[in-house]
A and B are shown apart, each in its own frame.
Chain A
Amino acid sequence: MRDFIYHAPTSLDEALSLLEQHGEDARPIAGGTAMVNLLKQNLVYADHLVGLGGVPGLRGISRSNGDLRIGALTKHREVERSADVASAAPLLAEAYSRVATVRIRNMATVGGGLSHADPAQDPPPALMALGARVVLASTGGTRELPVEDLFVDYYETALQPGELLTEVIVPAQAPDARAVYLKFLPRTEDDYATVAVAAVARVENGVCADVRVALGAVAPTPVRATAVEAALAGQPVTPEAIRSAAEAVAGQVDPLADFRGSSEYKRDMAVVFTRRALEQALGLGR
Chain B
Amino acid sequence: MTTLDASYTVRLTVNGEAREVQVPARRTLVDMLRYDLDLTGTKETCSVGVCGACTVLLDGEITASCITLAVQADGAEITTIEGVARDGELHPIQQSFIDNGGFQCGICTSGQIVAAKSLLDANPSPTEEQVKAWMMGNLCRCTGYYQILESIMKAARHDA
A102 at the interface (CB under 8 A from B): yes
* B143 CB, min distance to chain A CBs, angstroms: 13
Q: Is the CB of B47 within 8 A of A40?
A: yes
CA distance A252 to B98 in the complex (A): 54
Report the Cα distance A169→B30, complex, angstroms: 35
Contacts of B47 in A (CB 8 A): 40
Question: Does A168 reach chain B (CB closer than 8 Å)?
Answer: no
* Chain B 1-21: CB-based contact to A (< 8 A → 1; otherwise 0): 011111010000000000000
Q: Smallest Cβ distance from A249 to chain B, in angstroms? A: 30
**With an 8 A cutoff between CB atoms, is A39 at the interface?**
yes
A13 in the interface (beta carbon within 8 A): no
A 87-111 to B, binary, CB cutoff 8 A, 1 in contact else 0:
0000000000000111110110000
A37–B68 Cα gap in the complex (Å)? 9
| Interface flag for B137 (CB, 8 Å) | yes
What residues of chain A lie closer than 8 Å to B62, measured between beta carbons? 102-103, 106
B116 within 8 Å of A by Cβ?
Answer: no
Decide yes or no whether B61 CB sits under 8 A from chain A.
yes
Beta-carbon contact of B8 and A6 below 8 Å = yes
Contact status A29-B72, CB under 8 Å: yes
- 0/1 per residue, B71-100, Cβ < 8 Å to A? 110100000000000000000000000000
In this assembly, does B40 line the interface, its C-beta being within 8 Å of a C-beta of chain A? no
A32 touches which of B3, B4, B8, B72 (Cβ 8 Å): B72
B25 at the interface (CB under 8 A from A): yes
The answer for the CA separation of A8 and B48 in the assembled complex, in Å, is: 24
Would you call A103 and B26 a contact (CB within 8 A)?
A: no
A30 closest partner in B (C-beta): B72
Q: How far in angstroms is the closest Cβ of chain A from B106?
A: 20
Residue A286 at the chain B interface, CB threshold 8 Å: no
Tell me if A174 is interfacial: C-beta within 8 Å of chain B: no
CA distance A3 to B64 in the complex (A): 21
* Overall SS of chain A's interface: loop
The answer to whether A190 touches B72, judged by C-beta atoms less than 8 angstroms apart, is no
B61 touches A106 (CB 8 A): yes
The reply on B52 being an interface residue by CB < 8 A is: yes
Contact of B25 among A49, A53, A106, A189 (CB under 8 A): A49
B5 touches A189 (CB 8 A): no
Question: Which B residue's beta carbon lies closest to that of A47?
Answer: B4
Contact A36 to B69, CB < 8 A, known contacts A4-B26, A103-B49:
yes
**Which residue on B lies nearest to A107, using beta carbons?**
B63
- Evaluate contact between B55 and A103: CB separation under 8 angstroms: yes
* Chain A, Cβ-Cβ closest to B48: A37
Say yes or no: is A33 at the interface (Cβ < 8 Å to chain B).
Answer: yes
* CB proximity of B32 to chain A, nearest CB, Å: 13
Chain A interface: which size bin? 20 to 34
Complex Cα spacing A40 to B69, Å: 11
Q: Which of A33, A39, A49, A188 makes the CB contact (< 8 A) with B64?
A: A33
Verify B26–A104 contact, CB threshold 8 A.
Answer: no
Most chain B beta-carbon contacts within 10 A, residue among A4, A36, A106: A36
A28 to B8 alpha-carbon distance, docked (Å): 18
Q: Is B49 a contact partner of A4 (Cβ separation < 8 A)? A: no
Are B137 and A102 neighbours in the complex by a CB distance under 8 Å? yes
Report chain A residues within 8 Å CB of B74: 8
Residues on the A chain within 8 Å of B72, using CB? 29, 32, 51, 53
Is B26's CB under 8 angstroms from A190's CB?
no
In whole angstroms, how far apart are the Cα atoms of A77 and B137 in the complex? 15
Q: Nearest Cβ in chain A — how far from B117, in angstroms?
A: 13
Bound: A51/B58 CA distance, A: 17
Asked if B142 CB lies within 8 Å of chain A CBs, one says no
Cross-chain contact B25 with A6 (CB below 8 angstroms): yes
In the complex formed, the residue of A with least CB distance to B56 is A103
Residues of B within 8 A of A6 (CB): 8, 25, 69, 71
The contact sample of 15 A-B pairs, CB cut-off 8 A, is A1-B28, A4-B26, A5-B2, A6-B8, A29-B69, A32-B72, A33-B49, A36-B49, A40-B48, A51-B69, A101-B137, A103-B64, A104-B137, A106-B62, A107-B63
List chain A positions with a Cβ less than 8 A from chain B: 1-6, 8, 29, 32-33, 36-37, 39-40, 47, 49, 51, 53, 77, 100-104, 106-107, 188-190
The 5 closest A-B pairs by CB, nearest first: A101-B137, A6-B25, A3-B4, A106-B61, A1-B26
